[in-house]
Every structure is written in C-alpha cells, then in structure tokens.
Chains A and B, each alone.
Chain A
Amino acid sequence: MTQNKMEVKDFSFTYKGAAKPSLRNINLPIERKKVTALIGPSGCGKSTLLRSMNRIHDLYPGNKYEGQIMLHTEDEGHTDILTLKKENDFIWLRQTVGMVFQKPTPFPMSIFDNIAYGLRLQGEKNKAVLQEKVEKSLKDVALWKEVKDRLNDDARGLSGGQQQRLCIARVVALKPEVILFDEPTSALDPLSTLAIEEMIFELKQDYTIAIVTHNMQQASRISDYTAFMYLGELIEFDTTDNIFTAPKKQQTEDYITGKFG
C-alpha cells in the first residue's frame, strides 16, 4: 500500500470561459490517514483544487482539467480520477472522496433521513442496518447525545454548529476513504469550531483528510502537512511543523507571519 492516498500531478485547471487557468502545475501528495491543510490568500485557488479532487466542478460543464489526480483506494485500486466519464463512476468517486462545505447544508428532511439519504443511495434498505449506521455516525461526530430524542425533527432546526456536525456525519456514514473540508468552521462560533477541530483529529484515525482553512492556528493545530498556495500555484509543501517554524520560501513566511493575505 502506498503512503499516499491521493496524488495531484502536474495539474492545471481552467474554468469555463476563463482566459487563463486558475490552477497551474500543481503537484501535491495527500498522505494516507493524515490531515493535509491548504492555506493561502483569498482567490489563490484552494477551493478550486479541493473541488477538483471529487470533481464536484463537473456540475457545471465546460471546465478544463489537465494533468493527473491519482486516487489509491484501499482495495489496491489506482485511478486517475480525471479520466472518469460515466455518471456511475462519479457517484463512486464522490462516495469514496466525501466533501464538507463552508456553509452547513442540511437537507430539507429529518435528522435521520439526512444521514440515511446517502446510505439509501448506496442501496441500503434494511431498517435496522440504517438505524445502526445513523446512530454510529452521529456518535462519531459527537452529536448523538444532543439529537437522539429528536431524530425525526427537521434538520434545519439545529444550530449552525450542530448542522455542520450533521453534514460531517452524513459524509462519515458512507465510509469514504478521503474527506475534503472547505473552510468547515468559518461560519461557526469558537466553541463549535473547537468541537469540529477535535472531531477532525479523531477522524484522522480512519480517514484521509484535506482541509482548506484561512485560520493559521487551525492549520497548525490540526494538520500534519501544509500546502501554501499563491495565485494559482503551489508555492511550498512540507510538514506543518516545517511550514510554520522554518518555511523555505519568502512568500510562505510573509503569509504565515501575516505580512499579506
């Protein structure tokens, strides 16, 4: 088994109709069962890169991908996800590489159904199994105690922090291999943020994680590796310790010390 779960190789990305690429020649390994943070000033392409890794971009046709993004699955499969074309392959990819968004996105249904939705898509029909998996994933995100008595209530009635944990539970329930987080705490209060950070730390035992964040402390607290991006390029990639204590590039140092960005 390779050390790397995903590998972005010579990757460039151009939005439909854009004059020049938003990402140029990105090379980035995502190590297995580690947390990799993507940092950089606004507009540098962090979300664009993350959203390429489960090809959620393909909701909007006409974008151009160049290079390779390899996904090494637990069953020893090796796939360049940029070659996927069929709807079924996308469904497989997205259930293998899950994603959590910046704003909590509870579906307009009960708490239970929010989590069961993806499981049912996977073909799970057995009530008892659904029940069990919903409970398990709610426990994984430390939400079970708070919601166990109101699983049939509308999920939109939860607080923002609870909603975000629910969205993470929804992804976790599908047992993906990778989870992508795009600024998952930027819409939350400090306490909810802390709860989610702790959870990500726990999730690392079972999942490979990539997270975009604007919060330097957050990156240094929870990640093992950090990639610094600037204007569509990957400037520096290293262990988080090195990036924050001994960056090799001037631009990286300027950014983490708050000189720009």
Chain B
Amino acid sequence: MRLFLNKAFLVLSTLTAILGLLFLGWIIVTLVSKGMESLTPYIFTHDLVDNGIRNLIWGQIVLAGLATVFGIPIGVLAGVYLQEYGNHTKYADFIRDLSDVMMSAPSIVIGTFIYAIMVIPMGHTNGWAGIAALFVMMLPIVVRTTDDMLSLVPTELREAGMAIGASKYHVIMHIVIRAAKVGIMTGLILAFARIMGETAPLLYTSGSTIYMETDLSQTYPAMTVSIYNLATMPDEKLVSLAWAAALVLTLMVLGLNLLGRYIIKEKR
C-alpha cells in the first residue's frame, strides 16, 4: 500500500509538472507564432508612432527600474528592522500584517489610488505616478522576503558574532545579511520581474504614449499598457505588433529570472 501510494504520488506530481510546462510551452509557441511576423530588427529601432516598440521597451525598463531603485533599499531596510530590531514588538507585527494585506491588494486598486493622489492633481498621466504605483506594489514583497529570509538565519549565528565582540550592527551587516544573501537576492529579482509585467497599476498612472519620452512628469510609454491598447485595435498589423511586444516582454522577464539564477549560482 505504501509503495503504491508512493508510486501514485510520483506519477501525479510528474503529470502536474508536465502540465505546467505544457502551458508555458503553449504560451511561448503562441507568442512566437503570432508575433514572429512583426518581430523584425526594425521594431527595436523605431518608436510606436512608426510601428516599432523601442519607446515601449525603454519606458517599461525605466518605470520598473526606478521603482526598484527606490523599492530595494527602503524595503530591505524595513525587512531588516522587522526581523533584527523590532521583532516580537506589536509595531513590527502590525507592519507585517500590513505588508501582507498590501501584497494581496488587487493591483488595479493600487493604480486607482495613485491616480487619485498623483494623476488628478497633475492633470494628466505621468511617469512618476507609474513609478509610484509599481513601487507600492513592490515594497511589501521586498519587505516580506527580506524579513522571511533573515528569519531563516539561525540565532546561534548572531550570538556567535556577538560572542567574538562584534556589535549588533556589525553582526547584521557582515554576517546575517550575508548568510541570507542568496534568498534575498532571489526575492529581489522575482519582485522586479513581477512589476516588469504589470499592466493594471500603470493603466491610469503612467498611461502610455506612442512617442519616445524622457521627461517623467509627462505621460510615459509603458509596454504592458500599449500591448493592451494595441491588442484591441481593429488593424491586423497593430495586433501582430502587440504579439511581438508580448513576446519581447516575456523573453525579458524570463531572461531576468535566468540571470538571477545564474548570478546566485556564481555567488554561491
């Protein structure tokens, strides 16, 4: 009986794994077959106004990148505070719960909120609002991953550091964070990949534009938003361009994940 259960479980988990891979394969095959036609070097050197996606790639990277530049230090510091300083206090528990709630908040709600506080006062969609929305999405993920990864570091390691005369700050900076580094980095990359692919928070905040833009106080190009817009166009060529953009985005996110894994492996 035990043996049978064992076998059955193995077969079942193999099947589900295959099913998952099958869907991933299906998605990629669909993207490639529908987007291939438009996927030419031309689209990487032209903006959407000329039927290219250069400005979209630029915009998506700038929005997600700047959100990350703000999100990582603040989130990591907050995570360190929760685990190393405030642990077991009411305040820390409250912040933890709050992060969990924020993490499960629908992204469209976050987008609407930023719309209310940053778009309405400005009078038009703008890059900073998009960054703020992605930042709000990312922050709780970074906080909680840091918090969780630090909690996996054994207490003895902290004690051993203190026991040879290191200060608490020194132990955290040079021993604890280092011990949790791989986990934290994985979390950061996944958080970045996550916001790279978001549409809803950008829909009303950055908006999107067919032109190249470098001024963040203006409506900013966002790839995900434009894919959404293009896909609903009647023009076959534009729909095909949306598929190509979706393919590029998928490859970027996939590449990010692989890069993350590679770095982690090297650093080990």
Contacts and interface: CB of A to CB of B under 8 A. Distances in A.
B165 A105 contact: no
B163 interface: yes
B164 A171 contact: yes
A56 B160 CA distance: 9
A107 B165 contact: no
Given A59-B162, A101-B160, A91 B179 contact: no
A105 B164 contact: no
A171 B179 CA distance: 20
Interface string A82-97: 0000010011101100
Nearest to A57: B159
Contacts of A90: 165
Contacts of A131: none
Interface residues of A, number: 26
Nearest to A97: B163
Contact of B165 (A59, A101, A108, A174): A174
A91 B165 contact: yes
Interface residues of B, number: 20
B159 A59 contact: yes
Instruction: Among A56, A105, A167, find the residue whose CB has the most chain B CB atoms closer than 10 A.
Output: A105
Given A54-B163, A87-B167, A118-B164, A105 B181 contact: no
Contact of B156 (A91, A92, A101, A117): A101
A170 interface: yes
A249 to B, nearest CB: 33
A107 B163 contact: no
A101 B194 CA distance: 41
A121 interface: yes
Interface string B206-225: 00000000000000000000
Nearest to A170: B164
B178 interface: yes
B34 interface: no
Contacts of B178: 107-109
Interface in A14-43: none
A214 interface: no
A98 interface: yes
B46 interface: no
B120 interface: no
B181 A107 contact: no
Contacts of B174: 107, 117
A182 B164 CA distance: 15
Contacts of B161: 107
A103 interface: yes
Nearest to A95: B165
Interface string A184-212: 00000000000000000000000000000
A121 B163 CA distance: 12
A134 interface: no
Interface string A156-176: 000000000001001100100
Contact of A94 (B165, B170, B175): B165
A121 B166 contact: yes
A117 B162 contact: no
Interface of A: 54, 56, 59, 87, 90-92, 94-95, 98-99, 101-103, 105, 107-109, 117-118, 121-122, 167, 170-171, 174
Closest 10 CB pairs of A and B: A105-B160, A118-B164, A95-B165, A99-B163, A91-B165, A108-B179, A108-B178, A94-B165, A105-B156, A105-B157
Interface of B: 154, 156-168, 170, 174-175, 178-179, 181
